[in-house]
Structure 1
Amino acid sequence: MTTTLPTIQRQSNPLLTVMRAAGRAGVAVLLRGKPGIGKSALMAALADAEGLPMETVIASLREPADFAGLPVVQAGGVDLAPPSWASRLAAAENGGYLFLDELTTAPPAVQAAALRVVLDRVVGDLTLPHGVRIVAAANPPEQAADGWDLAAPLANRFLHIDHEPSTDDWIDGMITGFTLPASGRVLDYNPVLRAAARAEVAAFIRTRPDLLHVLPEDDAATGRAWPSNRTWTMTADVLAFLDPGDTPAALLAVTGLVGEGPATEFITWRAMQDLPDPADVLANPESVAWADLEPSRAWAILTGVTAYATADRTKGGWIDAWKPLAVAATAGLQDVAAANARALLNTRPTNTNPPASARAFLSILSDAGLIPTEAAA
């Protein structure tokens, strides 16, 4: 008898993709899952696949000084000496992983001391290199020994992911040794992509400003993902490393940073925009039917164009960004153009003025009180 094995089609794993993108963006990840499901094993396999060292710090066994630094009296004052794990990560040539395990079993004082580590990568007086990627793991508080929910300031510094591997994942791991692929659908850093992602998020918040900062009302929700100025910025920075067509990874990342409701709205809004390529709009601003656009869509297009044109911080890009604004303003979108004009004026390169084609509409915006009078000069 001949046994035919099923064909296995390897697909991109959103979890690994998001973790890698977050690491490159400098955004800390919190893996939350039941005890014994393999969070630590996943991190060991991920570090091995990336060829990076990993330092595991059991948060529940640490004191605040293990994160804030141990005071050491010197001739010129008091230094905050970093622990050995931080010094080893700082010395690693290509970066590495800091794995903060059992975070929700750490007492509040230890969690508070970890605030600067998670967001700013500062341990005592040592700043960890950007190549150091921070991942924490936690059990649900009700399943942790002496567990606490995360305080709002600490929770809002993480990309939260609920991790529950499937039975098939575990069986595959038992057979293959729980190894992970070394590559994924993660992009290299590109300032244009980062600027475009930030513009996209800004355009969405322009349509839903009530979602910019929403502190949850109950303690349990406060310890999870919720929208703030910080997490929307982190959202854009992670999205800049994701394939634009990888919707599952994008949804996982945005949900982990701003929560399920705002994330669903953003991803839906993003899919419906179908915005033109900013390079095409810059090359021919007249190619867009500005007069027929809804203001929110026009704002999204102009914001993307402005971000694209100014990403390299050159005088040429700054001057080019004015052309679509001038065309849109003459088509009746003065308010929309004004918002981008203010952003451009705030980033004016030294000894650089808007082109002559933009000065007429700048005067109109100034007369209408949409921009300061001196900005039109």
Structure 2
Amino acid sequence: MLGVALDRVVGDLRLPEAVRVVAGANPPDRAADGWPLTPPLANRFCHLDYTPTVDEWLDGMTTGWGAPPPSRAVATDELRRSASVATVTGFIKTQLNLLHVYPEDAAATSTSWPSRRTWSMLAAALAHVREDDTAATQAITFGLVGEGVGIEYLTWRAAADLPDPAAVVADPSIVAWGERPDRVWAVLSGVVGWAATRGTVEAWRQAWGPLLAAAEHGAPDVAAAAARVLGRARPAKAAVPAAVRTKWAPILVAAGLSEAAAA
């Protein structure tokens, strides 16, 4: 099953890209010869507990168990993906101990728990969820990183109220850069993700605007850390904008961008 879930291979057959892997099971204590999922396999799924209500059973019997309603998922794009990644990385930046938490209770290893893999899965999945779809957001979060850690993440995310990365690039003044460092990091992470996703020289150069604004208005250390990440996403032959080179030369050197600054 690891090969099916991770490599998408069944025997000699590689599953087409359009195929989605979905598994269903009764609780181990209620299944014939049931057993808990192994930790590696469990950590590759989003776990959604479902117990049908009496009304749902009655409706199903009445309607002949018709097809479920259409998915509430929405199409994603580079902006939504960047914003989603920013909320996850911003939270982990403040809670490094929650990046990978292997459950102490053996039974819990067969359910959802936070790891590098499930945080990445969460960022990808939430990019397909509407902002006002609280139920889906909570279900996916709990299903991937667990309820306890999931509550912490959703609480932080709601308090951060992160702006659209594209809007920050267009006008860095919309952000109060002297606020909480964790929020500033999340905002800049979104900007860096926006630039990296676009992959163009123009986008990379534009992303320096918010970093410079953060450095000049109370968050130089956070901006320097974001500069190192942005530096790793530098397109070929892209040069740091002149305004940044003039005001921020020491930080560019520390970020390993002296060559780009001199270009």
Q: TM-score range by the shorter chain?
A: over 0.9
* Aligned match of 2:215: 329
1:303 aligns with 2:189: yes
Residue 234 of structure 2, aligned match among 348, 351, 362: 348
Residue 19 of structure 2, aligned match among 132, 139, 153: 132
Deviation, structure 1 residue 244: 1.3
Distance 2:22 2:175 in 1: 44
Flag the structure with higher strand content. Answer: 1
- Using structure 1 for the length normalisation, give the TM-score: 0.66
Q: Matches of residues 238-249 of structure 1 in structure 2 within 5 Å? A: 238-249=125-136
1:257 aligns with 2:141: no
Q: Percent identity over the alignment?
A: 49
Residue 191 of structure 1, aligned match among 70, 78, 83: 78
Deviation, structure 1 residue 279: 2.4
Q: State the secondary structure of the residue aligned to 1:135.
A: coil
* Aligned match of 2:245: 359
Query: Bigger CA drift: 194-203 or 273-282?
Result: 273-282
* Aligned match of 1:85: none
Any stretches of 5+ residues in structure 1 without a counterpart? Answer: 1-113
Distance 2:164 2:234 in 1: 24
Q: In the comparison of the two structures, how many residue pairs are matched?
A: 261
Residue 88 of structure 2, aligned match among 179, 184, 201: 201
Alignment CA distance shift 1:262-1:338 (3 Å):
same
Q: Which amino acid aligns with 1:372?
A: G
Question: 2:79 touches 2:165 (CA, 8 Å); kept in 1?
Answer: no
Deviation, structure 1 residue 125: 4.0
Distance 2:97 2:89 in 1: 13
Residue 28 of structure 2, aligned match among 132, 141, 145: 141
Distance 1:318 1:188 in 2: 25
Residue 98 of structure 2, aligned match among 208, 211, 216: 211
Question: 1:310 touches 1:321 (CA, 8 Å); kept in 2?
Answer: no
Residue 166 of structure 1, aligned match among 21, 41, 53: 53
Deviation, structure 1 residue 346: 0.7
* Aligned match of 1:90: none
Flag the structure with higher helix content. Answer: 2
Distance 2:111 2:42 in 1: 6
The root-mean-square deviation of aligned C-alpha atoms, in Å, is 1.8
Distance 2:174 2:37 in 1: 50
Q: State the secondary structure of the residue aligned to 1:272.
A: helix
Question: 1:330 touches 1:361 (CA, 8 Å); kept in 2?
Answer: no
* Aligned match of 1:233: 120
Distance 1:221 1:363 in 2: 50
Deviation, structure 1 residue 251: 0.6
Deviation, structure 1 residue 192: 2.4
Question: 1:192 touches 1:312 (CA, 8 Å); kept in 2?
Answer: no
Q: Matches of residues 13-162 of structure 1 in structure 2 within 5 Å? A: 114-162=1-49
Q: Which amino acid aligns with 2:228?
A: R
Q: Which amino acid aligns with 1:231?
A: T
Deviation, structure 1 residue 321: 0.6
Larger radius of gyration: 1
The 4+ residue runs of structure 1 with deviation greater than 3 A are 372-377
Question: 1:290 touches 1:331 (CA, 8 Å); kept in 2?
Answer: yes
Query: Bigger CA drift: 156-165 or 336-345?
Result: 336-345
Alignment CA distance shift 1:211-1:169 (3 Å):
same
